[in-house]
Amino acid sequence: MTTEPREPVVEAGSERRGEGARAEQPRWARWLRRALLCLVGLLYAASIPWYRGDAPPARLFGLPDWVAVAILCYAAAAILNSAAWLLADIPEPVADDEARRP
């Protein structure tokens, strides 16, 4: 009777961060992400035409000024939001095949 060596069983969640895992996000990246998200909020606030007075609407790009400003704010908010998501630290789940590797 011969005994073959068994593969070690590793449960998901018990894995420690190894060389392939992402390290904790640096402080400057967390600060920059928060600043970008704050700017997105400010752009949404600036897109509301609450600042309009009784003056006749000016035209920008063939649109009333408040519409053009709102569209530009939304476009800038989308760009800043995508940059903030690039800085987000999203952990990758451990696949079952990877957990069973020795």
76, 21 Cβ separation under 8 angstroms: no
Q: Please write the tens of the pLDDT for every residue from 79-96.
A: 999 999 888 877 777 666
Beta partners for residue 64, in sequence order: 59
% of the chain exceeding 70 in pLDDT? 69
pTM: 0.59
- Enumerate the domain spans of the chain: 25-49+58-87
Distance, CA of 34 to CA of 80 (rounded, Å) = 11
